[in-house]
Structure 1
Amino acid sequence: MKTTLALLFGLSLIGTAVAQEKQAIVPEGMETTVEYYSYSPAVRAGDMVYLAGVVAGLPTDPETGEMIEATPENLDAAFDRAFIHIGEILTAAGADWDDVVDMTTYHTDMPIQIDTFLQVKNRYMKPPHTAWTAIDIDRLYPDTGITEIKITAYAPLGRE
């Protein structure tokens, strides 16, 4: 009996270890970007999903290639595109906005961006509110990047 219990207990631990291995999440269409930059848009480790930062960027002038000045309208569009992209990555990982537990944002101009960012964020993220840290920084990559959004989600494997 002890041998049987030990064997069953051992197999149970092996199954748990296999389920806890990390898995790269690469939504369809992002394969080339992943190969070029050598990163995963997200990694699932057990019940946790860690998203790489998604950069919201402003458009550039087609003639000069320079970034167009930020306005509430183009900030809204830039943030919305980033949140849509985050939603696609969450879906590919088997998660959604309700699973988000932590967000860190990096802003190149917090005073200009924060009000519009909050409006867009609140269209996607509903109460109970997630933990959130906002950081004002000097610059992002690419140069047209204005805000980077990093997300962590708790999305238990095997849930119904």
Structure 2
Amino acid sequence: MTKTPLIPSALLDRPGQLAISPGILSGGHVFLTGMTGSSADGSMPDDPKVQFRNAFAKIAEVLGEADLTLDSIVEMTTYHVGMEDHFDQFDRVRLDVLNPPYPAWTAVEVAGLRRKGALVEIRVIASVEG
């Protein structure tokens, strides 16, 4: 089975980039690395809604490398720090950026994430089929 990495050009030259692929195209699906809501300069916004929108924007950017959109997402797992404090805000952003039919979704509360200050990490699987 072939694996094609999906790396948006904005990430190619980012200092300190981890040795990972933001996305992998394989077997008719795109598998994305979990995305947090950091800004383009690497800072983590204090505003939860900005974090959530940033995370979905990064997901859209990686999917765009395979000519896909957020509508291609078939499964989503979200990892939340302090989920009770921001879940409603996250859900409003989710409903604003995703369209029916909505992807399958599991939300998990975690004690912490790798990125300091991150409230959510979003991992998705998208289908390359229309």
Q: TM-score, normalised by structure 2?
A: 0.88
The offset of 1:102, in angstroms, is 0.2
- Distance (whole Å) between structure 2 residues aligned to residue 102 and residue 137 of structure 1: 19
Instruction: From the CA coordinates, give the structure whose radius of gyration is larger.
Output: 1
Aligned residue identity for 1:152:
I
Name the structure with the higher helix share: 1
2:12 maps to which residue? 31
Residue 6 of structure 2 contacts residue 21 of structure 2 at CA under 8 Å; is this kept in 1?
yes
- Distance (whole Å) between structure 2 residues aligned to residue 105 and residue 78 of structure 1: 13
Question: Which residue of the other structure, out of 78, 82, 85, is the alignment partner of 2:58?
Answer: 85
Q: What are the equivalent positions in structure 2 for 1:2-41 lying under 5 Å apart? A: 20-33=1-14, 36-41=17-22
Residue 34 of structure 1 contacts residue 40 of structure 1 at CA under 8 Å; is this kept in 2?
no
Instruction: Quickly say closer, same or farther: Cα 1:95–1:113, change in 2 above 3 A.
Output: same
**Which sections of structure 1, spanning at least 5 residues, go unmatched?**
1-19, 60-67, 69-73
The offset of 1:146, in angstroms, is 1.1
Q: What are the equivalent positions in structure 2 for 1:107-126 lying under 5 Å apart? A: 107-126=80-99
Query: What is the RMSD of the two structures over their aligned residues, measured on CA atoms?
Result: 1.8
**Which sections of structure 2, spanning at least 5 residues, go unmatched?**
39-43
Q: What are the equivalent positions in structure 2 for 1:44-123 lying under 5 Å apart? A: 44-57=25-38, 58-59=44-45, 68=46, 74-123=47-96
